[in-house]
Chain A
C-alpha cells in the first residue's frame, strides 16, 4: 500500500486529497475531497496523469517562432521527450494555424499543431 497527497485543481478549494494505492497501483481509496470531481481527478492523476503541452518552435524562413500545442493531452511522463522533439523541429514558413507541425509526437498518437499562423 502507498499513499500520495494530491491537490485538486478543479476549483479554488484546492482540496488536499490522500490517494491510497495497492501494490498493483490500483486505487483503494481517495479521502480529503469535497466533491465527486475531486475523486475522479485524483484517480486519473495517480494512475495516468496527462497534460497539454504548449510551446514555441523556431521556423525556417521566419524571424518569429510559431506557437504550438498538442492536440490532446499527452501522458505527463512524455513531456520531456515531447519538448526535445520540438526543440529539434524546424518547420518551414508559411505555417497556418491548425496545421500539423509534428505528427504522433513520441508515439503518443497525438499530433502537435500550430496555434497561430506564421509567414
Chain B
C-alpha cells in the first residue's frame, strides 16, 4: 500500500507535533505524521524534567542558546492558548563551594550574553529565606526568574490535537525504515508500505541520526544519554517553590529537585551513556545516585512518598549542538534535540515550518481559516465546588469518580479517549487526564480504565494495552 502526502513528518514527539501544528496553521497541504510508538510523546518528550529553561546554560552563539531563548519566550502565550499546565516558578542554580561560585558567575555572564532577563546572584542568607528547605551548606545561587515548569506530554497532546483539527493526519505504530529520493520528492519505506511525499521532516528523536546519515554526506552520531528520575506524591506544602539545579557538569545540568505543574516533586536526572536508545529501564545504581544527589540539595528528602520512577533518553549529538534545518533537497531535520529541546521546540518548529513553506518545490496552498485549539474541560480536580456541581448537572458522568488519588471522573476519561488525537492505551489515558498517575498507581482504577477503553474503542478488554505494541494488560479470560 502506498500513501501520498505533501509533507511527511517522522516522529510525533514535541518537535514533530509542534512542526505539524505550525505547518497546519499556515498551509492546506496534506500533512502526515508517522510515529514508531503507539501514541504521541512516547520518547524523550514524555520523560524529561518538564523545565522551560531560561537559557543561561548554552554557550553563546550555539543553536541551543539561540533556540532556547526564542522558545522560552514563546511558552507563556503558547501554553495559555493551548491550555497546557505551565508555571513560571523560577529557578536557582545552587553553589555549594567557591568552585561552584565561579561556575554560577560564569552562568550569569553566559545567560546575560544569551539575552536571558532578570538573572542575578543571590547570597546565602537571602537564598535560605527564599527556599528554607535548601541545604544550609549552600553559599550562593544564580536566580533565573523566567525559568518555568510545564507538563511536557500535555503540551505534545495539545500540539497534536491542534494540528489534527487543522487537518494533520497521524499514523502510529509506523516506523520509517529508510528514505529514498524521487523526482517529485521522497519515498519513506515502512513495514506497511511506502509513503510518497513532496517533502520530509525528520524529527525522529534518538533515531534521527540514522535517517540523517542516509541522506547526508555529513555523518552524525547520537549518543543515548539516559536520565533516571524519582517522582514523589504531591505534598501538602511543596518543599521548594522553584526549580533547584546544582552546578552543571560536562554531562548535563546535573540533578534537580523541582515542583511539577501538578504539585508532585521530581528528582533527577542521572546522565549515563548507554548503547540502546530504547532502554528506558531504571537501575538500582541510577536511583541511588539520584537520591544521593537530591539529598545535597534537599537534606530532608525521603522516598517514603515516592509514587514511581522512570527514565528518559536524551539524544546527544557528539558535537554537542542541535542540528536544525535542511539536510538535502526537500528534506529537513531536527537532530540531536536534547535539553533544552523541550524549551526550544516551539522555536525549532516555527523555523522549520517557515523554511519548508519557502521551499520552491512546495505547492502554495495557504490556509486562510484555521481551527481553534481543542478545548478540554477544566480538570474536575481544579474546579470550585460550584463548578463541580454544575459539571455533574451537565454530564452525570462527572459524578462518577474513577481515579481517587488524582480525582478524575469518568467523563474526563472518556474525553481523553475522544479528543482529536485521543488516548488508545491505559498510559495514554493516564497522561491525558491523570487517572492512575497518583499514589496508588492505578491499583484501584486500572480495571475501570480498561473497561472504559474497551467500550470507547470497541475492542475486547483483552486487547487493551498499557502502552505501545504488545503491552497487553490481560492475557485472556478465566
Contact = CB atoms under 8 A, between A and B. Distances in A.
B319 to A, nearest CB: 59
A106 to B, nearest CB: 19
A65 interface: yes
Contacts of B478: 56, 58, 65, 87
B477 interface: yes
Interface in B461-478: 477-478
A39 B478 CA distance: 38
Contacts of B477: 58
Contacts of A87: 478
A101 B432 CA distance: 44
Nearest to A86: B478
Interface residues of B, number: 2
A1 to B, nearest CB: 43
A77 B477 CA distance: 25
Interface residues of A, number: 4
A58 B477 CA distance: 9
A18 B461 CA distance: 49
Interface string A77-111: 00000000001000000000000000000000000
Interface string A54-81: 0010100000010000000000000000
Interface string B440-478: 000000000000000000000000000000000000011
B474 to A, nearest CB: 14
A56 B477 CA distance: 11
Nearest to B451: A63
A65 B478 CA distance: 9
A58 B478 CA distance: 8
Interface in A7-66: 56, 58, 65
A66 B129 CA distance: 61
A88 to B, nearest CB: 12
Nearest to B477: A58
A118 to B, nearest CB: 14
B475 to A, nearest CB: 16
Contacts of A65: 478
Nearest to A87: B478
A48 B477 CA distance: 33
A56 B478 CA distance: 8
Contacts of A58: 477-478
A45 to B, nearest CB: 29
B37 to A, nearest CB: 32
A14 B36 CA distance: 55
A58 B476 CA distance: 13
A102 to B, nearest CB: 16
Nearest to A56: B478
Nearest to A57: B478
Contacts of A56: 478
B458 to A, nearest CB: 16
A87 B478 CA distance: 8
A40 to B, nearest CB: 36
A18 B477 CA distance: 42
B325 to A, nearest CB: 56
A67 to B, nearest CB: 11
B268 to A, nearest CB: 42
B434 to A, nearest CB: 27
A71 B114 CA distance: 79
A22 to B, nearest CB: 43
A9 to B, nearest CB: 27
A8 B40 CA distance: 56
A87 B476 CA distance: 14
Interface string B110-154: 000000000000000000000000000000000000000000000
A83 to B, nearest CB: 11
Nearest to A55: B478
B386 to A, nearest CB: 37
Nearest to B461: A63
A91 B477 CA distance: 16
A49 B478 CA distance: 27
A46 B119 CA distance: 80
Nearest to A58: B478
Nearest to A65: B478
A65 B477 CA distance: 11
5 contacts: A56-B478, A58-B477, A58-B478, A65-B478, A87-B478
User: Across chains A and B, which 5 residue pairs bring their CB atoms closest together, nearest first?
Assistant: A56-B478, A58-B478, A65-B478, A58-B477, A87-B478
